[in-house]
Chains A and B, each alone.
Chain A
Amino acid sequence: MAKVGYTRRSILKTGAAAAAATLAAPMVWSQESKNIVLRQFGTGVSNLNDVATKVKEDLGITLEMTALDSDAVTQRAATQPGSFDIADIEYWICKKVWPTGNLQAMDVSRIANYDKIVGIFKDGKLTPESTIAQGTAPHTVGFVEGQGSTTFASEQTNWMTLIPTIYNADTLGIRPDLIGRPIESWTELLNPEFKGKASILDISSIGIMDMAMVCEAMGEIQYGDKGNMTREEIDKTFAIFTEAKQNGQFRAFWKTFDESVNLMASGEVVIQSMWSPAITAVKSRGIPCVYQPLKEGYRSWGGGIGLSASLSGMELDAAYDYINWYLSGWVGGYLMRQGYYSAVPETSKEFMTENEWGYWFEGKEATDVITSPTGDTLAQAGEVRDGGSFEDRMGHVACWNAVMDENQYMVRKWNEFIAS
């Protein structure tokens, strides 16, 4: 084809441009991505079958999804680079995995909505006045100097490690009906009042942060950086929690999403670390459950899509198409209606009703019933989201999920804690 002066690509480009002009669609995707299969793996939160279905519909790309827990995701990204095309991982996992060279940096100029991405992922600031929280803040591991670089850049460059997709501010989940009084601080997790009815998650890198939030709130430990503790701080933190564990404070520890839902729904536990959609899942069973904002602030996390180093050619183009599609709004709207935030809220707005946007993003009273993307009723008219608006929630992040320099030491201590 090159002989006659046309490449398939150039024809498609012209065709696409013509189509875009005539149809006036928001975006038209190249057709060559048909028959391409991309293998994506990640934590359960964003590995949604609906996304795979929709991307097939819009782009023709077949997305094969595998959902794993955070530890398994890290393990896979670090040790089996050939087993995936797209890694849907969290930023702290990126810090761990990037040095292995299993992922390739992304050319920012190929990301259509780059300018609209929330500041948290670019310079770390939600608004120009915000202070940057402790821990592995996404922007610190979001950029590298160039393709092939294994160290992170200190500021925005043209090469992004992960394209941010989804993030949220986490806090403790409670059963208001079983507690019967206001909960305001992280210290309540170790309150003897809830002996045998508390739980934390058994994923060391996240669990340690929840522990740190509690210890700091109790005034027991002042951390230099909760996301990067010293050995001494780690020891002290575990000492406090080991004592609590031996006194029978905890009913169980959970590792998977479903476990956390069951613990809460069955009443085994009345206060625990929890993830936003787990609250939703409990609520949709008709059981009251609140994602309690606490005065010390939130523990936040963010995820993004990374490209396998082995991607090239058509697959790589398809992956860029997929990323641009991801940020173009439909997925964002879908995720926001589950209680997460999209990296490009502007585009998601178009895929949400005014009521949904007001409830989920602006913290306004719902004017009508709020339903999840799958049709479950999540809130009635007049209800307000726990924690309020986007700025209220993401503006009160005390710490980001992190991986520390003393990670290995912490992991061994964690193992001891579980066994103690």
Chain B
Amino acid sequence: MQILKNRHVTGWLQAAPLTLILLGFLVLPIITIVIVSFWQATEFSIIPAFSFENYEFLFGSAVTWKVFMATFRYAFITWAFTLAIGFTVAYYLAFHIRSQPVQIALFLLCTIPFWTSNIIRMISWIPFLGRNGIANQTLISWGVVDQPVEWLLYSDFSVILAFVHLYTLFMVVPIFNTMMRIDRSLIEAAYDNGATAWQTLTHVILPLCKPGIMIGTIFVVTLVMGDFITVRFMSGSQRANVGRLISNDIALLQYPSAAATAVVLLCTVLITIAILLRFVDIRKEL
């Protein structure tokens, strides 16, 4: 029992469960993926090897570059929209609603859509946006358009719409959280010193919300970059992002090639996050 009294031993023991889980379910699979990415495959078997063929093909194909660019584009546009909407919603909740019960109630209201699955929320857009869907019928009956609008569904528009719908809450929550912790006297001080509402927003609230924005950004960017199902359904398989490249490869039994793409995607996302973290030191600010 003496040994358990040792501060270091208990510390290690307490950290052990999480460490083991992370090793077993995160580090090990990633190592496996990296190893397999150097293997080769035939139609029905994968062959252990050390070959750069998968990477050569990946970087040598114009499609890869195009698809990575498309992935970044989706991530950026989705980020911009979720940030604008998320910040506004959080601002309203944090500063306009005075009573705490109402605040909590409204916040919970935001989470209600999340009681259903991602896929259902996404697919429910399809009949709405379709050629003969509610949106087009409404537009036609109002006389806004004569012909059904085709680009509402199976287009970049529908993909981004679904992304924004699915992921805005991931922006709202962390931003709301940081806003609630802003000392209200700072805002009063800003007003007392003659700052306009806009100046208060840009010079006081926005800088203080940076950690929340950054956490939300990381959520949204990684979710969008890793997604494949939204792109597949909402574009009717007409568009591709990196996730779809990987899922196609897996479907066609090209595991090594899928692993290589996954490794490149993982690196890309890690680099993106590293760059984002240069802007805000989350640890310090939290």
Q: A residues within 8 Å of B by Cβ?
A: 69, 71-72, 74-75, 78-79, 96-97, 99-100, 196, 199, 202, 204, 245, 250-255, 262-263, 266-268, 403, 407-408, 411-412, 414-416, 418-420
**B252 beta carbon closer than 8 Å to chain A:** yes
B residues near A, CB below 8 A?
42-45, 57, 61, 63, 66-67, 126-127, 130-133, 150, 153-154, 232, 235-238, 240, 244-245, 248-254
Give chain B nearest CB distance to A55 CB in angstroms: 30
Q: Which residue of A lies closest to B42 (CB)?
A: A408
Q: Is the CB of B131 within 8 A of A245?
A: no
User: With A252-B236, A253-B238 as given contacts, are A416 and B61 in contact (CB-CB < 8 Å)?
Assistant: yes
In the complex, the answer to whether A415 meets B44 with C-beta atoms within 8 Å is no
Q: Are the CB atoms of B253 and A79 closer together than 8 Å?
A: yes
The answer on a CB contact under 8 Å between B43 and A418 is no
CB distance B252 to A252 under 8 Å?
Answer: no
Contacting B44 at CB < 8 Å: which of A100, A411, A412? Answer: A100
A74–B43 Cα gap in the complex (Å)?
10
For B61, the chain A residues whose CB sits under 8 A away are 416
Measured CB to CB, the nearest residue on chain A to B250 is A75
14 A–B pairs (Cβ distance < 8 Å), ordered by A: A78-B44, A78-B253, A97-B44, A100-B44, A196-B150, A199-B236, A251-B236, A252-B154, A252-B235, A266-B130, A268-B132, A408-B42, A418-B248, A419-B244
Q: Are A72 and B251 CB-contacts (below 8 A) given A253-B238, A266-B131, A419-B245?
A: yes
Question: Are A71 and B131 CB-contacts (below 8 A) given A99-B44, A250-B238, A418-B244?
Answer: no
Q: Which residue of A lies closest to B242 (CB)?
A: A419
| Distance of A262 Cα from B251 Cα, bound (Å) | 23
Q: A251-B236, A419-B63 are in contact. List 20 more A-B contacts (CB 8 A).
A: A71-B252, A75-B251, A75-B253, A96-B43, A100-B44, A196-B150, A202-B237, A204-B252, A254-B237, A266-B127, A266-B132, A267-B131, A411-B254, A414-B248, A416-B61, A416-B63, A418-B237, A418-B244, A418-B248, A419-B66
Closest to B234 in A: A252
Q: Given A99-B44, A266-B132, A407-B43, verify A415-B63 contact (CB < 8 Å).
A: yes
The reply to whether A253 and B236 contact each other, CB–CB distance below 8 Å, is yes
In order of increasing CB-CB distance, the 9 nearest A-B pairs are: A252-B236, A419-B240, A253-B237, A71-B251, A78-B44, A416-B63, A411-B252, A202-B237, A419-B63
Q: Which residues of B contact A267 (CB under 8 A)?
A: 131-132
Is A418's CB under 8 angstroms from B253's CB?
A: no
Interface centre among A78, A97, A100, A252 (most CB of B within 10 A): A252
Rounded to whole Å, the gap between the CB of B226 and the closest CB of chain A is 17
In the complex, which residue of chain B has the Cβ closest to the Cβ of A202?
Answer: B237
Q: Contact check, B245 vs A415: say whether CB atoms are below 8 A apart.
A: yes
Residue in contact with B253 in the complex, picked from A74, A99, A414, CB distance below 8 Å: A74
Asked whether B252 lies within 8 Å of A251 as measured between CB atoms, the reply is no
User: Are A415 and B238 in touch, CB under 8 angstroms?
Assistant: no
Chain A contacts of B133 at CB under 8 A? 266
A131–B250 Cα distance when bound, in Å, is: 37
CB distance B44 to A96 under 8 Å? Answer: yes
Given A96-B44, A415-B63, A420-B63, A255 and B245 contact (CB-CB distance below 8 Å) = no
Across the interface, do A408 and B238 meet the contact criterion of CB distance under 8 Å?
no
A196–B238 alpha-carbon span in the complex (Å) = 11
Q: Bound state CA distance, A251 and B240, in angstroms?
A: 15
With a cutoff of 8 Å between Cβ atoms, the chain B residues found around residue A262 in the complex are 126
Decide: B131 and A100 in contact? CB cutoff 8 A. Answer: no
Rounded to whole angstroms, the CA-CA distance of A307 and B44 in the bound complex is: 18
Query: Min CB distance, B41 to chain A, in Å?
Result: 8
Beta-carbon contact of B253 and A412 below 8 Å: no
Residues of A within 8 A of B236 (CB): 199, 250-254, 263
Q: How far in angstroms is the closest Cβ of chain B from A30?
A: 35
A94 CB to closest chain B CB (Å) equals 11
> In the complex, which residues of chain B have a beta carbon less than 8 angstroms from the beta carbon of A99?
44
Min CB–CB distance B246 → chain A (angstroms): 10
Nearest residue (CB) in B for A250 is B238
Name A403's contact: one of B43, B126, B240 (CB within 8 Å): B43
